[in-house]
Structure 1
Amino acid sequence: MAGGNAIRGSRVGAGPMGEAERGDSAPRFQVSYYCASGHVTRPSFAAEAQVPESWDCPRCGLPANTDAENPPPPPKITPYKTHLAYVKERRTEAEAAQILEEAVTALRARRASGEIIY
């Protein structure tokens, strides 16, 4: 089945000679990065580029560095805390009981005065 697309299979910008008329590509080198899971990543950098100290592993997402013997440890993940957990960090049980008692007293006083509370 022949399609009507005459440039099928070629790249945009590629001329009749292909990639050769564009010239040589810039000189590059590869750097190996190692993560705590044992993955090795080898991104390519331009010869004059500054190499970063760390790189994120594309397979597991952990940080990686160039030291194969001592890869960086996985970051500590703090568990999700609820609002109640943060309140319990700031208040003791005695303070909570006192605040609750004040709120209940104020609510009863408003009800006794005839105020409509929803």
Structure 2
Amino acid sequence: MASGSAIRGSRVGAGPMGEAERGDSAPRFWVSYWCANGHETRPSFSEEAGVEVPENWDCPRCGFPAGRDKDAPPEPVRNEPYKTHLAYVKERRSDEDGAAILDEALAALRARRGG
């Protein structure tokens, strides 16, 4: 037997009237953007809001930046890979510096141990 809920299965905004119930949509215009993979994206903008149309837009398919010029889309951003602590140390010190520091540390350790 049913639980007695008369609105079971409906959602907010769902009704028989549709657009007339919610009012008219604001007038919109669409702008085409193309990414380096050739994907076209067409976001819409309100004509009444006076929003400035951006030069670049993120492609929802691949994530690359997309531009309004189909023949010359913007280049994808190159991400640097994650660096470990050792990679940063190697950037700051040469191999000779590292060997000298290691020898100094080993000498101090041997002196403490009495060897």
What TM-score bracket applies, with the shorter chain setting the length?
A: 0.7 to 0.9
In the other structure, the counterpart of 1:116 is none
In the other structure, the counterpart of 1:20 is 20
TM-score by length of 2: 0.82
Paired residues, number = 112
**Alpha-carbon distance in structure 1 between the residues aligned to 2:64 and 2:3:** 46
**Alpha-carbon distance in structure 2 between the residues aligned to 1:49 and 1:4:** 48
Structure 1 unpaired stretches of 5+ = 114-118
In the other structure, the counterpart of 2:106 is 104
Residue 97 of structure 1 deviates from its aligned partner by: 1.1
Answer with 4-13 or 40-49: which moved more.
Answer: 4-13
Residue 9 of structure 1 deviates from its aligned partner by: 6.8
Q: Over aligned residues, Cα RMSD in angstroms? A: 2.4
1:86 to 85, 88, 108: 88
Q: Write out per-residue CA displacement over residues 59-101 of structure 1, whole angstroms, 9 at most, x where no aligned residue.
A: 0000111111110011112223222222111111211111011
Q: Tell me whether 1:71 sits opposite 2:73 in the alignment.
A: yes
Q: Tell me whether 1:59 sits opposite 2:61 in the alignment.
A: yes
**Alpha-carbon distance in structure 2 between the residues aligned to 1:3 and 1:67:** 58
**Alpha-carbon distance in structure 1 between the residues aligned to 2:25 and 2:88:** 56
Residue 17 of structure 1 deviates from its aligned partner by: 3.2
Residue 15 of structure 1 deviates from its aligned partner by: 5.5
In the other structure, the counterpart of 1:43 is 43
Residue 18 of structure 1 deviates from its aligned partner by: 3.2
Residue 37 of structure 1 deviates from its aligned partner by: 0.4
Task: Note closer, same or farther for the CA distance 1:41–1:91 as it changes in structure 2 (3 Å cut).
Answer: same
SS of 2:29 mapped into structure 1: strand
Task: State the identity as a percent.
Answer: 70
